Structure 1
């Protein structure tokens, strides 16, 4: 078999890099313009936004490509400016936490939230996580009967106040005054609302599980179907939650699996009434999903797993009555979601 000349290979490689650089730049500009106009009302913009900031990282390659391969001054200058803007954005948004500087006299509460992934998370693993973190309140999503029969029972001494109604559950060191099951926007997904007595102050807590996005087939032509990213069922649930929070007069904590990223309009709407504990006091991207996904759909008969989450969809939110002392993504269990934790400080009492 004849070998291709080395200069032909180099020429082909350089041409491929040029095509990538120009195509990526054009697609990125189109994305930013369309997002500015439509936000995530276009499904393709919503899908791309799911993987921000990862999609922005190739920008760092563009100045190098401009200098060594494209060799156009204007391209190198524009891409260098893009790098500076990206670094500034990453620093401000992801790497500049502002945790509260508080005194020990101010009452604080530790929160843990975890989507246990139905049967995947074993009860001993869940108990070990809780005993290591020692939270005051635990929000659990996608629990099954085995969790209420085993983990809840084993933790009864430390967490005497429990509401375990699969697929959601709450464990608390503080008395639960009242509780109810919710179906936001009358959708099938199950949520919880409860009132606890913390430091002689009643606090409203919501255990959240929003409808997840999925891909549906869309008939483009008679014989052509394309996958379309569907996420429209989540938005009414978030709007319902926002309306409920606006009507609350007590301090509020909302935690759980929201199935949305920070680049969505749903996140923006929720941010109007609540504050994101990790974004206020955590450091980094805070990705929580998907952890441990098997990649057999890419390579059959392989044991490859995606152990590095690429999306942040699990949150702990709080009302203006609180401040965030810390926020973190915790060690993995068997679930495809990583647990999240936060320590909140009660800044002001609500009038009863």
Structure 2
């Protein structure tokens, strides 16, 4: 069992997705396979099996190779810009309290996802003093201390280009789930995407259902690839961990602020007991100095934050 566990983690990329997206499902929870090591160690000690203890070296070494770099604090002091992203939850019973908590963070940019029409006015009023500029497209928005311009929705780029001028009838990345805008900083323009990709589901018949989310990932990857601005940031609830192979086209172009400058794994969901980082801050052309997870608000996601420098 120890050898099989080690091989499973080492060869996760070889697990096929043809049957119920099994490979993506395994990769979504890959760090947690390390939890089986102490269970197997207890069994080995109970059996007094030296060979079983030695066999456990394989999964331990593989896990440390994959995730050992996330155990320490990789943050640095300083930073020119602080950003926060949170899925504020459509069922949030206290949007005003969530807005106050986020405004008190001191962030320069604040990205919100899953904004309902009923709560939008609450967020606009609560954040108006701290953030004089904001742009909203459907259920996603960006509040900023700095001027914004060129805001537009992001459509499916697979057939119509990464940023379509008008919404095609069968666009697969809905205009109310992703937006692009430009932030005017003293160092020049910064392109910011805010996105809330489609939800994923696990059920006995379909397995790990990710089709809608994956189309959104592809659309964002094409949009980022077409960007002429060197400085790009993607904030949002991507409904997946970056270990999932579905995000390869995005991670080939952008770095995760948490992976580069975080402290620990940065799990953000569910808020009560986070077990996965599905809320992401990805950057290109700027340097992450620190990244962290904020305390829970009234949402079922915790806010994620990062400080970046030019």
User: Which bracket does the TM-score occupy, shorter chain normalised?
Assistant: 0.7 to 0.9
Offset, 1:48 = 2.8
Indicate if the aligned counterparts of 2:3 and 2:55 stay in contact, CA closer than 8 A. Answer: no
Q: Which runs of 5+ in 1 are unaligned?
A: 1-21, 219-226, 292-306, 347-352
C-alpha distance in 2 between matches for 1:157 and 1:345: 25
Of residues 243, 251, 255, the one that matches 2:235 is 255
CA distance in 1, matches of 2:137, 2:219: 22
What is the distance in 2 between the residues matched to 1:33 and 1:83?
11
Q: Which runs of 4+ in 1 moved over 4 A?
A: 39-42
CA contact (8 A) 2:24 2:246 kept: no
With structure 2 as the length reference, what TM-score do the two structures score?
0.85
Structure-2 residue corresponding to 1:141: 113
**1:214 counterpart (201, 206, 214):** 201
- Correspondence for 2:14: 37
After superposition, residues 150-189 of structure 1 pair within 5 angstroms as: 150-185=122-157, 186-189=171-174
1:191 aligns to what?
A: 178
1:276 maps onto 2:241 in alignment: no
Q: In structure 2, what is the Cα distance between the partners aligned to 1:158 and 1:290?
A: 28
Deviation of 1:144 after TM superposition, in Å, equals 1.2
CA 1:59–1:217: 2 relative to 1, 3 Å: closer
Find the aligned partners of 1:228 and 1:150 in 2 and give their Cα distance.
38
Task: Calculate the TM-score normalised by the size of structure 1.
Answer: 0.76
1:313: which partner in 2?
278
Higher relative contact order (CA 8 A, sep 6+): 2
SS at match of 1:241: helix
Name the counterpart of 1:322: 286
Count of residue pairs brought into register by the alignment: 293
Tell me which of 215, 221, 236 is aligned to 1:242.
221
Deviates more, 1:146-155 or 1:197-206: 146-155
> Does the CA contact (< 8 Å) of 1:174 and 1:198 recur in 2?
yes
Confirm or deny: 8 A CA contact 2:98 2:298 kept in the other structure: no
CA RMSD of aligned residues (A): 2.4
Equivalence for 1:222: none
1:179 and 1:217 map into 2 onto residues whose CA distance is 41
SS in structure 1 opposite 2:136? Answer: strand
